[in-house]
Amino acid sequence: MVKTGVSLVVTICALIYPVHLLDNGLAQTPTMGWLHWERFMCNVDCVNDPHNCISEQLYMQMADIMVQEGWKEAGYEYVCIDDCWLADERDSQDRLQPDPTRFPSGIKKLADYVHSKGLKLGIYQDVGNLTCAGYPGSHGYYDLDAETFADWGVDLLKFDGCNFGTLDILVEGYKNMSRALNATGRNILYSCEWPLYLWPFHQPNYTDIRQYCNHWRNYGDVYDSWQSVKSIIDWTAIHQNLIVPVAGPGGWNDPDMLVIGNFGLSWDQQVSQMAMWVIMAAPLLMSNDLRSIDPKSKMLLQNKHLIAINQDPLGRQGYRIGRVNSFDVWERPLSDGRYAFAVLNRQEIGGPRQFPLLLATLPSWKTCHPECRVTQILPSYQDLGVQNLFSALKLTINPSGTVLFTVTLNKGLAAEQKWNWNMTKKRKTPNSVF
C-alpha cells in the first residue's frame, strides 16, 4: 500500500517534472582517451595524405596502438572522432552517414572493431545546422541522431556549438540531445561545449549544465603552443570560484585536449600541461600521433602516479591558491586527506629558479601536523621524505616548468603519537590523586 503510494507520487512528479537529467552513470572520474582534432584537424585529403587523413584507418590504427603500447592499460579508453567524418548530406531517411570513401565500412563496423580491442568509440556532432567545419549539424534531428549513434554502438558524443542560430536553440539543443541520448538506453558519455558558446552573451548556469553533460568546454580551442596552454590555465584560475565547485564525479570542466607529444611545447611545458590537467581534474584526451610519439612524452602521459591523481575517487578539482614572484601555486584535495600541489614557474627567461616552500604556509597545513610525507612526482619522481610544518623545502623549477608533489599525513607517526598520548593518559590515571 505504502509502496503503491510512493510510486504514485513518483509517477505524478515525473509527469509534472519530466525526467530530463543525464542519467548514464558515466565519467565518475575524468574521461581518458584520444581525440583527433588538434593533431589531425580536418584533413580529408586521403589521396595525397592517406596516413594522416580523417578515415576509419586512422582510428583503427590508434585503437591497435592503444592496446599494444600500454595506453589502454594506463587507463586511456575512448578513441574519439572529431569533426569532418560526415558525408555532405544525410541519407534518404535523414540519417547521418559517414563520408563513404573515407569510412567505407561504416561507423558500426568501426565501433565493433574498437570494442573488440576493449576500447570505446567517441563521435562528434553539432547542436546547430552545420558543424564547425560545415558538415550537416543535428539541429532538428536530435532524437534521430541519438538513435543512430546508439544503433552504431557509439560510446561518447562530443557535441559542438557552431552555427546554433539563436541562444534558445543552443540551450534547448544541448538539453534535448542529453534527453535524446538518455532515451536511447545506451550509456553514451555526453561531452558538451555549451558554456563556451554562451560566454560571449552571459555567464553560464553551471548547475544547469552539470545536470545535462558529463563534461563541458569553457574556453577556446587548445593549440599546439605554450601561449595557448597558459591562456587555458589562466582562464581556469580566474573563473575558479564559479567552475570548481560544480566539478565532481559525473561532471567535469574540460580545458580541452592534451597536446603533449606534438611540436609546440618544450619538455618543461609538456610537464606543465600534464601537471595542470591532473590538478584540474580534467578529462585526459590526448590529441597526438600515437604511431610516432617520442618515448619521453609517452612516459609522461602514461605516468601512473599522475593518472592516479587525475582519477582520484574524491573527484575534487584543484584550484590556484596563490601567485608569488612569478610562481603560481595550485592545490588539489585528494582522497584519504592527501593533497597534490603544483608550482608553476611563470618566468620565461633565465634558468631554473628555487621556490622555498614552508609547509606551514599552505591552507592545508594540517596535513603536515605533526608530520607529513612529501613525494615529488614531476618533473621526476623523488621521495622528499618526512617533513614537518617548519621544514623548508626548496623546489627547483625550470622556466615554464612545474613541480608537482603530493603531501600525505604521516599516518604511522600520527597513530604512534596518538597511542603514546593515550598510554600516557592511561598510565597517569592509576597514579592520579583524583
Provide, rounded to whole angstroms, the least separation between the CB of residue 41 and ligand GLA. 8
The residue annotated as part of the active site, out of 64, 208, 221, 234, is 221
- Hey, what's the cell of 61? 590504427
Site membership for ligand GLA, residue 135 (CB under 6 A): no
Size of the site for ligand GLA (CB under 6 A): 9
Please count the CA atoms within 13 angstroms of the CA of 338 that sit on its side-chain side. Answer: 20
* Interacting span for ligand GLA (CB under 6 A) from 15-23, 127-135, 292-300, 403-411: 127-135
* Cα–Cα distance for residue pair 194/196, rounded to 1 Å: 6
CA distances (Å), 346 to each of 230, 256, 325, 394, in order?
9, 21, 9, 17
Site membership for ligand GLA, residue 163 (CB under 6 A): no
* Cα–Cα distance for residue pair 96/144, rounded to 1 Å: 9
**37, 216, 252, 330: which one binds ligand GLA (CB under 6 A):** 37
Site membership for ligand GLA, residue 224 (CB under 6 A): no
- Hey, what's the cell of 95? 540519417
Comparing CB distances to ligand GLA, the nearer of 259 and 377 is: 259
Provide, rounded to whole angstroms, the least separation between the CB of residue 133 and ligand GLA. 4
CA distances (Å), 307 to each of 107, 249, 274, 329, in order?
30, 16, 10, 20
Going by the DSSP 8-state scheme, the letter that residue 251 receives in this structure is B
Per-position x/- string for 56-95, each x denoting binding to ligand GLA as judged by CB under 6 A, each - no binding = --------------------------xx------------
Provide, rounded to whole angstroms, the least separation between the CB of residue 285 and ligand GLA. 10
Site membership for ligand GLA, residue 123 (CB under 6 A): no
Provide, rounded to whole angstroms, the least separation between the CB of residue 193 and ligand GLA. 6
Comparing CB distances to ligand GLA, the nearer of 132 and 362 is: 132
Q: List Cβ neighbours of 179 (8 Å cut-off, separation of 6 or more).
A: 20
Site membership for ligand GLA, residue 54 (CB under 6 A): no
* Cα–Cα distance for residue pair 232/44, rounded to 1 Å: 28
Provide, rounded to whole angstroms, the least separation between the CB of residue 4 and ligand GLA. 49
- Hey, what's the cell of 370? 605533526
Q: DSSP characters for 225-245?
A: SHHHHHHHHHHHHHTHHHHTT
Q: List Cβ neighbours of 142 (8 Å cut-off, separation of 6 or more).
A: 173, 176, 177, 180
Are 133 and 87 a contacting pair, CB within 8 Å? no
Comparing CB distances to ligand GLA, the nearer of 158 and 210 is: 158
Q: Which phi and psi angles does 355 have, rounded to 5°? A: -115, 110
Q: DSSP characters for 270-317?
A: HHHHHHHHHHTT--EEE-S-TTT--HHHHHHHT-HHHHHHHT-TT-PP
Going by the DSSP 8-state scheme, the letter that residue 248 receives in this structure is B
The residue annotated as part of the active site, out of 160, 254, 312, 328, is 160
Site membership for ligand GLA, residue 133 (CB under 6 A): yes
Site membership for ligand GLA, residue 160 (CB under 6 A): yes
Active site residue 221: yes
Comparing CB distances to ligand GLA, the nearer of 127 and 404 is: 127
Site membership for ligand GLA, residue 192 (CB under 6 A): no
User: What residues between 167 and 186 interact with ligand GLA by CB under 6 A?
Assistant: none
Active site residue 160: yes
Query: Partners of 263 in the beta sheet?
Result: none
* Interacting span for ligand GLA (CB under 6 A) from 108-116, 129-137, 199-207, 247-255: 129-137
* Cα–Cα distance for residue pair 189/19, rounded to 1 Å: 18
**66, 79, 132, 334: which one binds ligand GLA (CB under 6 A):** 132
Residue 70 burial (10 A CB sphere; 0-12, 13-18, 19+): middle
**130, 221, 346, 408: which one binds ligand GLA (CB under 6 A):** 221
Site membership for ligand GLA, residue 285 (CB under 6 A): no
Contacts with ligand GLA by CB under 6 A lie at: 37, 82-83, 131-133, 160, 193, 221
Catalogue the active-site residues.
Answer: 160, 221
